[in-house]
Amino acid sequence: MADSNNGAIPNDAGLLRRIHPDLVTPDKNLGRSRPMTGAFLGKDKELSVDAEPILRQHGLDLSFSLRNWPNFSLARFRAGDARAKGLRVVHDPCPEEQPDNPAHTLVIGATRSIAQALACACEWPVELSGQEPQRD
Amino acid sequence: MPPDGAVQYFEESPFPRELGTTTTGPRPEPARLSYDKFWQEYHSSVERETELDVRRKRELQIKLEKFTQYPVGWDSYGAPPLRSDTKDFALSVLNVIMQPRTPLPHVAPSSVGGLHVEWHERGIDLELHIIAPYDCDVWFSDSRNPDAQPVEDKIANADFAVLTEPIDLLTSRAD
């Protein structure tokens, strides 16, 4: 596992987290749907994500992250946002449970309040309908 | 007129014509009828509320039951399904803390076989992670009260007093 907290995964890199439909909550305070805080709380404070630039380097796009999970959404936050909250961003390619995933990355150390901040600030690069938005 | 004639007289005729001509309209409905009507309406609204409450709790129960049948890895990251004992505990907690007019929370299984219970409305953010029976994390923030600090707590027993204030606010506060 290569520790890419030194900048190998740049701060502006998008980190993609799959979101099960049950984990999308209508946040009436924000006036929009967002991932539940729990969607950003991994086991042992380790959150699995896919690093977008590494996907692109391998000729893959966002649909690769949803290859086996067509009804899921994708939430994106920036590596720099995670680091700014003191989290480590560690490239962890092809782990045992995803041997075909060269972009697999771990975000380590998220507490509940950090998870909530990420859940409130993240974007939806793949809409809830499962459609990737049109690019300009 | 018999001794109770006056009562009978008032109850039977809202506009007693034998007293002659009058320019006033019929008297309003006797107070006793309004009182009966009030209780009738009150009881039917309580019944409606109770039915609604039972239906809402049943909906939650069905949802949680479904979560216990999810396969391992349902979240695509290896999460186990909701544990059955945690489901039962969660239902008993919700039964205790929720009032008839409390909005329904958003619920979802968690990555450790627990249950996330979240409310995000009326300026309140209340999150409860029921990890296992008698093992819960609570997080609460009230954006409409600038003096209130977010509350983060751990519940390791059956005392859910920390939830009283946020649930009261969620229940009583307007949108």
pLDDT per residue as tens digits for the range A12-42: 999 999 999 999 999 999 999 999 999 998 7
pLDDT band with cut points at 50, 70 and 90 for residue B157: confident
Q: Which residue has the tokens 């009030």?
A: B38
Report the sign of the C-alpha dihedral through residues A29, A33, A34, A37, in that order. Answer: positive
Q: Tell me which residue range forms the domain holding A8.
A: 2-121
Closest CA to B129 of B114, B144, B140: B114
In a domain, A56, yes or no: yes
Answer whether residue A102 shows pLDDT above 70.
Answer: yes
> How many Å apart are CA A91 and CA A79, to the nearest integer?
11
Among A20, A46, A50, A65, which would you mutate to test the B interface (most chain B Cβ atoms within 10 Å of its Cβ)?
A: A20
Among A23, A49, A107, which would you mutate to test the B interface (most chain B Cβ atoms within 10 Å of its Cβ)?
A: A23
- H/E element, B108: strand B106-109
- Assess contact for A1 and A92: CB atoms under 8 A: yes
Q: Which residue has the tokens 């596992």?
A: A1
> How many Å apart are CA B82 and CA B96, to the nearest integer?
20
**% of chain B at pLDDT higher than 70:** 75
The alpha-helical segments, DSSP class H, found in B69-153 are 84-97
Q: HSE-up of B122 (CA within 13 Å, CB side)?
A: 18
In a domain, A13, yes or no: yes
Answer whether residue B127 shows pLDDT above 80.
Answer: yes
Domain count, chain A: 1
In a domain, A127, yes or no: no
pLDDT band with cut points at 50, 70 and 90 for residue B22: low
Quick check: B77 contacting A, CB < 8 Å?
A: yes
In a domain, A91, yes or no: yes
Give the residue, A131 or B48, on which the prediction is more confident: B48
Give the residue, A104 or A96, on which the prediction is more confident: A104
In a domain, A110, yes or no: yes
In a domain, A135, yes or no: no
pLDDT tens digits along A41-82: 877 789 999 999 999 999 999 999 999 898 999 999 999 999
Q: Please compute the mean of the pLDDT values over residues B3-21 and round it to a whole number.
A: 50
Provide, as residue numbers in chain B, all residues whose Cβ is less than 8 Å from the Cβ of A22.
67, 108-109
Q: What is the pLDDT of residue B33?
A: 64
In a domain, A30, yes or no: yes
Quick check: B116 contacting A, CB < 8 Å?
A: yes
pLDDT tens digits along B45-74: 667 667 667 888 888 999 999 999 999 999
Q: What is the pLDDT of residue B107?
A: 96
Provide, as residue numbers in chain A, all residues whose Cβ is less than 8 Å from the Cβ of B103.
none
Distance (Å) from the C-alpha of residue B54 to the closest C-alpha of chain A? 23
Q: What is the pLDDT of residue A95?
A: 86
Q: Please compute the mean of the pLDDT values over residues B157-168 and round it to a whole number.
A: 89
Task: Tell me how far CA of residue A10 lies from CA of A14, A52, A90, B123, in angstroms.
Answer: 9, 10, 11, 36
In a domain, A109, yes or no: yes
Going by their DSSP bridges, the two strands A123-126 and B106-109 should be labelled as unpaired
Answer whether residue A104 shows pLDDT above 60.
Answer: yes
